Amino acid sequence: MLKGTQYLFGVSEEDTGKLRVFTRVLSDRVYRTVVFDVVVHPEFRGQGLVRMIFDEMTSHPDLKDIEQLVLYCTEDVVGLYEKWDFTQNRDGTKIMIRKRPLRA
Ligand SMILES: CC(C)(COP(=O)(O)OP(=O)(O)OC[C@H]1O[C@@H](n2cnc3c(N)ncnc32)[C@H](O)[C@@H]1OP(=O)(O)O)[C@@H](O)C(=O)NCCC(=O)NCCS
């Protein structure tokens, strides 16, 4: 049986522990890896922090050879992920979403 594993990639301030950049990744370590929550603290955007954690994530020994690395994003950041060879889905598969009100 494949076991899912969660990976966290981030950079925090040494003195305060405050997060500057963060992403969360879930992988079965063979077929599929899903990337969630790519966020840079507003004060630290445009300084290469996403490049740092995406370079680390995509070269991680457990993740670099996974058949499919998947994320969903808005149109304005498509060009960001293309830098790591993500492409928009053209194989006909659909994203299916079941929505419920966000829990407070
Ligand atoms: C989008 C976001 C993650 C980008 O962070 P950032 O700190 O600007 O990213 P970096 O400085 O590490 O940029 C890495 C590279 O991507 C490029 N880039 C950054 N944002 C981009 C965008 N929206 N479109 C295209 N390229 C982009 C940079 O120019 C840089 O290129 P280079 O390394 O080849 O010079 C950040 O603005 C953010 O946290 N936004 C709010 C949350 C969000 O929208 N997250 C994405 C959810 S899918």
Tokens of 27: 């992988």
Residues with Cβ within 8 Å of 27's Cβ and at least 6 positions away in sequence, in order, are 4, 5, 7, 33, 34, 62, 63, 66
Per-domain residue ranges of the chain:
5-82
Q: Is 35 close to ligand 1, i.e. is its CB under 6 Å away? A: no
Each of the 104 residues of the chain gets a pLDDT tens digit; together they read 667 899 999 999 999 999 999 999 999 999 999 999 999 999 999 999 999 999 999 999 999 999 999 999 999 999 999 999 999 998 898 989 999 999 98
- At 4 the pLDDT is 87
- At 104 the pLDDT is 82
- At 30 the pLDDT is 93
What DSSP character marks residue 101?
P
- pTM score over 0.85: yes
Q: Report the CATH number of the 5-82 domain.
A: 3.40.630.30
Task: Report CA(2)–ligand 1 centroid distance (Å).
Answer: 32
80, 81, 83, 88: residue to mutate for ligand 1 pocket, most atoms within 8 A of CB: 80
Tokens of 102: 């966000």
Tokens of 37: 């929550």
Task: Report CA(32)–ligand 1 centroid distance (Å).
Answer: 23
Strand partners, 19: 12
